[in-house]
A and B are shown apart, each in its own frame.
Chain A
Amino acid sequence: MRATAQVPAIEVRHATKRFPTRSGEYTAITDVSLTVQPGEFVTVVGPTGCGKSTTLGLISGLTTATDGEVRVNDRPVQGIPEGLGYMFQTDAVLPWRTVLDNVAAGPRYRGTPRSEARAAAADWVARVGLAGFEHYHPHQLSGGMRKRVSLAQTLINQPATLLMDEPFGALDVQTRGNMQDLLLDLWSGSGTAVVFVTHDITEAVALADRVVVMTAGPATVKDVIDVTLPRPREVEEIRLTEEFLGMYRRVWDSLREEVEITRARGANRAA
């Protein structure tokens, strides 16, 4: 689904982020530039610890850039931008609340009366396939089910911009496939711009309109690869096609070097 050029949903211009450490400064990302159009699905891959999450942090307003500019909907990011959704890598569901009250949290925070919020929440709980589990507590659910709660909790606010930080990394392969299909299903037609960070190249190519490859730390953008696979896609099917394999190779060719560099650095540090 290619969006026409308009006001970009997300614009990162030459962003750099440095963290003060005990021995000076650590540069996480340097001169990162990235543009995401409304309704576009962009995935970001890179070697371990290269600063992919930091980039998301800058867009979300949870961290501020040391240099450069970050804009969401053509407004500079100061604090959390409006219409933003974020799905974290680790569980962010509230353990002391039921599934229903977890999903209703967003609307409740924004002032929606409880009965209305719960009704909307019930709708979303069904959409992510958890109908019947509204009154369960998170500890009674499997990891995959908790992810669905997270997804519903994030999407109920109908974010115009959605950031996802390796959300399915902790799931087993089959559950991951289910979640990817669910995500694509809920996202298609919504017009939401998505930035999805992952280690998994298969996931990156299967979900995206474009794949951004980042270098080893201090990270910058190395390559942007267009994914021309047709939509709607079913993840398990599409990854067996020749076209997919071609895209996978292109991404891996670009990424391989960076992974080697990171691995060598790690070995040197350990030596």
Chain B
Amino acid sequence: MRRKALRSRLAVHGTRLLAVATLIGGWQLAASHWIDPFYYSKPTRIVERLHDWFTEGTAFGSIWEQIAVTLQEAVLGFLLGALAGVVLGILLGRSRFLADVAAPFIKAANAIPRIVLASLFVIWFGLGMSSKVATAFVLVFFAVFFNAFQGAREVDRTLVDNARILGAGRRQVLTSIVLPSATSWILASLHVAFGFALIGAVVGEFTGADRGLGLLINNAQGTFDAAGIYAAMILITVIALATEWGLTLLEKRLLSWRPGASHADAPA
């Protein structure tokens, strides 16, 4: 039994490695003989560019500085946006009246192509970090808000009634029933939300910045440096994956009470 499982895992990993090797090898080969590496770049050039960045730095300072700036903007926008989304989502989710009043405004605001606000924010806040934080904020807020709103709305009525009969006041119902109930909805949106925060920070930097990974991409575009664009993409992907992993750990911890999360067997 265990050997079979081991063999299938090896098969899966093996096939993955094969696929990656084929892709990269094929790309390298194609770019060396048939397609123009000026437009499409090749793996060796990308590795070179990354190597340069990490050893000699970029045109705007050390690569670590760029990463730090983009990360800071994303994290700040994420935290602020998530907080605002949760608070407003739960508030409106529990108050029928407020929800009805705000509904058309929220619909309208949601229809605006949010990414375009980045340009507005550069005019408002300048080229510094705040305009990027604002862009990230706006993207994160709507994602988290709708989930928190839905989660607060869908709290099981029986749980609320039961708590009231046991003696819970309004505030106690909110903290002990509504909030934990909505948590799985909120956590679900946080994964997507951090991705948005990163996008917001990078696009904000595209639009106008003095430092950051988005600026590197913009600069690479301007100097026809395809390898540079790929290199920056790789860095952003690594950051996104690392935070995704961290968030999944957090989620597992907070949602350990869910069925399937634990392996303890129920005695009869």
The answer to whether A124 has its CB under 8 Å from any CB of chain B is: no
Contact: B167 with A92, CB < 8 Å? no
CB distance from A99 to the nearest CB of B (A): 11
Q: Is there a chain A Cβ closer than 8 Å to B172's Cβ?
A: yes
Query: In the bound complex, do residue A139 and residue B257 qualify as a contact, i.e. CB atoms below 8 Å apart?
Result: yes
Contact of B264 among A136, A138, A153 (CB under 8 A): A136
Does residue A196 face the partner (Cβ distance < 8 Å to B)? no
Check: B165 CB closer than 8 A to any chain A CB: yes
Contacting residues of chain B (226-268) with chain A, CB-CB under 8 angstroms: 256-260, 262, 264-268
Cβ B162 vs Cβ A92 within 8 A: yes
Within 8 A of A (CB), among B146-203: 158-159, 161-169, 172, 176-177, 180, 183
Contact A105 B257 (CB under 8 A): no
What mask results when residues 132 to 153 of chain A are scored 1 for a CB within 8 Å of chain B, else 0? 0000111111100100000001
Residue of A nearest to B254 (CB): A96
Nearest chain-A residue to B160 (Cβ)?
Answer: A92
Q: Are A88 and B158 in contact (CB under 8 A)?
A: yes
Nearest CB in chain B to that of A97: its residue = B257
Known: A88-B158, A96-B257, A140-B266. A109 touches B180 (CB 8 A): no
Q: Which residues of A contact B258 (CB under 8 A)?
A: 95, 139
| A109-B257 contact in complex given A62-B161, A94-B159, A142-B266, C-beta closer than 8 Å | no
Q: How far is the CB of B106 from chain A (nearest CB, A)?
A: 27
Verify if A60 is at the interface (C-beta below 8 Å from B): yes
Within 8 A of B (CB), among A32-63: 60, 62
Contact of B180 with A80 in the complex, beta carbons under 8 Å: no
From DSSP, what is the main secondary structure of chain A's interface residues? Answer: loop
Closest to A150 in B: B162
Contact of B177 among A86, A94, A142 (CB under 8 A): A94
| Most chain A CB inside 10 Å of its own CB: which residue of B161, B168, B260, B266 | B266
Instruction: Determine the distance from Cα of A80 to Cα of B265 in the docked complex, in whole angstroms.
Output: 38
Nearest CB of chain B from residue A164's CB, rounded to whole Å: 12
**A104-137: which have CB < 8 Å to B?**
105-106, 109-110, 136-137
Shortest beta-carbon distance, A9 to chain B, in Å?
16
Q: Which residues of B contact A62 (CB under 8 A)?
A: 161, 164-165
Residue pair B262, A139 in contact (C-beta under 8 Å): yes
> Is the CB–CB distance between B262 and A109 below 8 Å?
no
Number of A interface residues in the complex (CB < 8 A): 29
CB closest chain-B residue, reference A138: B257
Contact between chains at A80 and B164 (CB < 8 Å): yes
Q: Is the CB of B164 within 8 A of A105?
A: no
Interface size for B (C-beta < 8 A) is: 27
Among A90, A139, A153, residue most surrounded by chain B Cβ atoms (within 10 Å): A139
CA distance A96 to B262 in the complex (A): 13
A256 to B3, CA, bound (A): 63
Bound-state Cα–Cα, A62 to B164, Å: 9
Known: A139-B258, A141-B266. A109 touches B158 (CB 8 A): no
With A95-B257, A95-B258, A140-B262 known to touch, is A84 a contact of B268 (CB < 8 Å)?
A: no
Contacts of B262 in A (CB 8 A): 137, 139-140
Q: Which residues of B contact A94 (CB under 8 A)?
A: 159, 176-177, 180
Chain A nearest Cβ from B133, distance in angstroms: 33
Residues in chain B near residue A91, CB distance under 8 A: 158
> CB within 8 A of A105: which of B166, B259, B260, B266?
B166
- Would A109 and B172 count as touching, CB distance under 8 A? yes
User: Is the CB–CB distance between A60 and B165 below 8 Å?
Assistant: yes
A78 within 8 A of B: no
A residues in contact with B172, CB < 8 Å? 109
- From B165, B176, B183, B256, give the contact of A80 (CB < 8 A): B165
Contacts of A84 in B (CB 8 A): 165
Q: Judging by beta carbons under 8 Å apart, are A145 and B257 in contact?
A: no
The answer to the question of A167 belonging to the interface, with a C-beta cut-off of 8 Å to chain B, is no
**Residues in A whose Cβ lies below 8 Å from that of B265:** 140
In Å, the complex CA distance between A154 and B162 comes to: 9
Q: Are B163 and A109 in contact (CB under 8 A)?
A: yes
A157 touches B166 (CB 8 A): yes
A139 to B264, CA, bound (A): 10
* Neighbour of A96 across the interface among B158, B166, B167, B180, CB < 8 A: B180
Question: Which residues from chain B contact A95 at a C-beta distance below 8 Å?
Answer: 257-258
5 nearest interchain CB pairs? A92-B162, A139-B259, A109-B167, A106-B166, A96-B257
Interface of A with B (CB < 8 Å)? 60, 62, 80, 84-86, 88, 90-92, 94-97, 105-106, 109-110, 136-142, 145, 153-154, 157
Known contacts A62-B164, A92-B159, A145-B266; 10 further A-B pairs (Cβ under 8 A): A92-B161, A96-B180, A105-B176, A109-B172, A109-B176, A136-B264, A139-B262, A140-B266, A141-B266, A142-B268
A-B contact pairs, 5 of them (CB 8 A): A90-B158, A91-B158, A92-B159, A97-B257, A141-B266
